């Protein structure tokens, strides 16, 4: 199959839930860290304010000692002791204390510079108290990390509700010794309440932020689920729809493992589904569609999908090994679907497009990821539409190059059809009709040919069906009638022995109530007598509105036209129609004149003989078409057939050759 250029498919990206979760977690951790830092800074600032007053009091006490000696401190009830430069205690007031090495410093915050603190401050502590010191830069450091029990904390709160934390502060003296003074770090209930308030506020802010993030995430997930349901769920079958099929199918074909398989796109149609709904109900029809979908899904394997599209179409993407295996599998699936309901026998038609190379090449040569499911499904549907002529029967059709060429031809014909009429590229050919007894010219049939500059010389079999399907046949019929009427008028003016010429009129015209008036107007415009024009109708047209058909035929006859039935016997002819329809001519189909039957009898001749007799009894003339052998001519002459049309006498010919025949018949 020729390579078809495919447009690039638009990929739909899926949002994975893991990434929003990670984002929410990171945001929560960062928020918590910022709140902890903010709380720590606030508490540290309050402690700084309280400690600054303690430090100022300590500096004042040291100044008193230096100026007035230990007596002043003892008089004021200050607990203190002094050591010499070797660390030996030389003076104390209050509890006896020894110098201890406490360990690594923990910096709390920096105080303002102190003039008396030139050489550094060293701390000492006993087993019950907490101590602070100042280094040479004025940095306040914590020497002990001891924690208090609840009972101890209760004992540290005085009657006024103030938390008194004992602290020892020390500094060097001028003689190299050290003075250590005991003081208290007071934390009021207001400070504690502020600490708690800040912590609670930060906790509440953190909870609000986390809850908001979680709520937004959950709401977003719910909205996405609802949107996905709206986008991807079929409202009839409650299963997957066309958009889901495209999205999921493209993802399947893009996977690396998918390149190891052959894939086929299938367009499966539930034939006469609307008839089922009309006879039952829409609800029962929807239920039947769901049963069809469930039956299809039960036959699918991993990495195969199906969906419900339009009224009764089911697109599928399935794997296959070779064409025969694919057809067997689809036939088995259709067999199950045909008997899905015990009270009905359904029909299903499937069109198939093989992705990539449709031949027997290795699966790894098929580039599934480059497939455009839109186009592939369109091709599968085009293949399925070729089965519509099968009526109610199930079937499978594979898309191939012949179908591509056929569709290209249809498209090309439709592109050129209007220009062809304008340029009069359609030519009228005439096939004479002769009396089998006298070999005299009795009539002719107008046949169309297309002499196209682009397409060449084209026979009617390659474009008439196209015109009938697209409605252009009505314009062609008017075109032919006008040209035949002008030819007949010209030949009459030349004095030639003109005979009636039949012009085919498609059944598509009979939806028009003014058909007879319009045909008459065309012939009248050419100033041709209507008796030289025979309106030829196909047998199938007589199975439409019979009442309207009878009225149209009578009106045509009133205008002077003769009316004939073409191809009588090619379909399921109705003798009742012959009884009701006032026809002038009956054309016998060429199929009557085939070879004899297996039993040696020629049943066709019997039917022809009886048809001729029936036509005579109904005052109709008969024409046998497709006659090529003398034995057939002799038989028809003997049976009383009025005219013969076929290669035995003449092939269809251009107007100038037919004109020469008429001149020869003079």
The 10s digit of each residue's pLDDT in 90-127 is 777 644 434 333 333 333 333 333 333 333 333 344 44
DSSP H helices in 308-459: 323-338, 373-385, 401-422
Question: Which helix H or strand E contains 83, and what residues bound it?
Answer: strand 80-83
Task: Over range 308-315, report the average pLDDT.
Answer: 87
Ranges in the chain annotated CATH 3.20.20.450: 410-664
Residue 534's pLDDT band, with cuts at 50, 70 and 90, is: very high
Considering the domain delimited by 242-399, tell me its CATH architecture: 2-Layer Sandwich (3.30)
Given a cut of 90, whether residue 485 has pLDDT beyond it is yes
Task: Over range 135-139, report the average pLDDT.
Answer: 45
Range in 338-347, 399-408, 485-494 the model is least confident about: 399-408
DSSP summary character for residue 506: -
Given a cut of 60, whether residue 154 has pLDDT beyond it is no
The 10s digit of each residue's pLDDT in 550-595 is 888 999 999 999 999 887 766 555 566 677 788 999 988 877 776 4
Task: Over range 301-320, report the average pLDDT.
Answer: 89
Given a cut of 90, whether residue 448 has pLDDT beyond it is yes
Given a cut of 90, whether residue 285 has pLDDT beyond it is no
DSSP H helices in 299-354: 323-338
Q: What is the pLDDT of residue 65?
A: 82
Ranges in the chain annotated CATH 3.30.70.270: 242-399
Q: What is the pLDDT of residue 513?
A: 79
Strand partners, 396: 350
Q: What is the pLDDT of residue 414?
A: 94
Q: Which CATH superfamily is domain 410-664 in?
A: EAL domain (3.20.20.450)
Residues 536/503, Cβ–Cβ less than 8 Å: yes
Task: Over range 61-89, report the average pLDDT.
Answer: 78
Q: What is the pLDDT of residue 645?
A: 94
Range in 127-136, 454-463, 495-504, 583-592 the model is least confident about: 127-136
Q: What's the mean per-residue pLDDT of the chain?
A: 78
Given a cut of 70, whether residue 636 has pLDDT beyond it is yes
Give how far Cα 7 sits from Cα of 12, 31, 256, 324, 585, Å: 16, 48, 21, 30, 56
Residue 413's pLDDT band, with cuts at 50, 70 and 90, is: very high
pTM above 0.75, yes or no: no
SS3 164: strand
Q: What percent of the chain has pLDDT over 70?
A: 73
Cβ neighbours around 124 below 10 Å, total: 22
Given a cut of 70, whether residue 356 has pLDDT beyond it is no
Residues 124/168, Cβ–Cβ less than 8 Å: yes
Q: What is the pLDDT of residue 66?
A: 81
Given a cut of 60, whether residue 139 has pLDDT beyond it is no
Which of 63-77, 155-169, 514-528: highest mean pLDDT?
Answer: 514-528
Decide which of 266 and 76 is more confident. Answer: 266
Task: Over range 243-263, report the average pLDDT.
Answer: 79
Decide which of 420 and 573 is more confident. Answer: 420
Given a cut of 70, whether residue 307 has pLDDT beyond it is yes
Distance (Å, rounded) from C-alpha 127 to C-alpha 150?
Answer: 17
């Amino acid at each position: 199959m020729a390579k078809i250029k495919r447009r690039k498919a638009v990929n739909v990206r899926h949002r994975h839930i893991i990434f929003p979760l990670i984002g929410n977690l990171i945001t929560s951790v960062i928020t918590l860290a910022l709140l902890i830092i903010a709380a720590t800074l606030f508490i540290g600032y309050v402690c700084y304010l309280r400690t600054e007053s303690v430090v100022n009091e300590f500096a004042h006490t040291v100044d008193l000692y230096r100026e007035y000696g230990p007596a002043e401190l003892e008089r004021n009830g200050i607990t203190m002791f002094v050591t010499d430069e070797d660390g030996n205690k030389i003076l104390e007031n209050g509890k006896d204390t020894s110098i201890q090495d406490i360990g690594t410093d923990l910096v709390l915050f920096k105080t303002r510079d102190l003039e008396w603190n030139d050489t550094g401050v060293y701390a000492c502590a006993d087993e019950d108290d907490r101590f602070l010191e100042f280094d040479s830069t004025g940095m306040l450091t914590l020497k002990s990390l001891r924690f208090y029990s609840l009972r101890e904390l209760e004992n540290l709160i005085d009657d006024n509700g103030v938390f008194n934390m004992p602290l020892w502060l020390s500094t060097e003296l001028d003689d190299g010794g050290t003075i250590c003074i005991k003081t208290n770090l007071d934390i009021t209930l207001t400070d504690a309440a502020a600490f708690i308030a800040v912590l609670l506020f930060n906790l509440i802010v953190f909870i609000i932020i986390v809850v908001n993030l979680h709520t937004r995430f959950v709401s977003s997930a719910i909205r996405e689920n609802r949107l996905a349901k709206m986008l991807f769920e079929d409202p009839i079958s409650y299963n997957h729809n066309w958009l889901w099929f495209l999205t999921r199918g493209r993802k399947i074909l893009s996977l690396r493992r998918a390149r190891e398989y052959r894939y086929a796109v299938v367009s499966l149609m539930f034939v006469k589904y609307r008839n089922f709904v009309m006879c039952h109900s829409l609800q029962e029809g929807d239920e039947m569609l769901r049963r069809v979908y469930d039956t299809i899904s039960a036959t699918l394997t991993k990495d195969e999908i199906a969906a419900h599209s339009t009224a009764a179409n089911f697109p599928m993407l399935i794997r296959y090994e070779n064409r025969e295996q694919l057809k067997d599998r689809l036939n088995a699936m259709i067999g199950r679907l045909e008997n899905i309901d015990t009270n009905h026998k359904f029909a299903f038609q499937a069109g198939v497009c093989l992705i990539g190379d449709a031949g027997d090449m290795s699966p790894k040569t098929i580039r599934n990821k480059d497939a455009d499911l839109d186009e592939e499904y369109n091709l599968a549907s085009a293949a399925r539409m070729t089965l519509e002529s099968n009526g109610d029967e199930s079937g499978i059709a594979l898309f191939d190059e012949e179908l591509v060429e056929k569709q290209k031809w249809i498209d090309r014909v439709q592109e050129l059809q209007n220009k062809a009429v304008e340029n009069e590229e359609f030519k009228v050919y005439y096939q004479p009709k002769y009396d089998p007894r006298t070999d005299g010219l009795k009539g002719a049939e107008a046949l169309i040919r297309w002499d196209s500059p682009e397409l060449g010389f084209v026979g009617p079999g390659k474009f008439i069906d196209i015109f009938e399907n697209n409605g252009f046949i009505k314009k062609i019929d008017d075109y032919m009638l006008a040209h035949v009427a002008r030819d007949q008028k010209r030949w009459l003016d030349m004095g030639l022995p003109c005979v009636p010429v039949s012009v085919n009129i498609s059944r598509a015209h009979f939806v028009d109530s003014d058909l007879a008036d319009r045909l008459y107007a065309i012939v009248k415009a050419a100033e041709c007598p209507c008796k030289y024009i025979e309106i030829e109708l196909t047998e199938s047209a007589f199975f439409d509105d019979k009442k309207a058909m009878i009225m149209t035929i009578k009106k045509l006859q009133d205008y002077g036209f003769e009316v004939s039935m073409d191809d009588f016997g090619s379909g399921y002819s109705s003798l009742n129609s012959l009884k009701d329809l006032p026809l002038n001519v009956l054309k016998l189909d060429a199929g009557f004149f085939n070879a004899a039957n297996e039993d040696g009898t020629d049943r066709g001749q019997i039917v022809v003989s009886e048809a001729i007799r029936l036509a005579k009894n109904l005052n109709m003339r008969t024409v046998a078409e497709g006659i090529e052998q003398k034995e057939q001519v002799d038989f028809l002459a003997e049976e009383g057939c009025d005219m013969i049309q076929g290669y035995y006498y003449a092939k269809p010919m251009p107007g100038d050759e037919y004109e020469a025949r008429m001149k020869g018949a003079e």
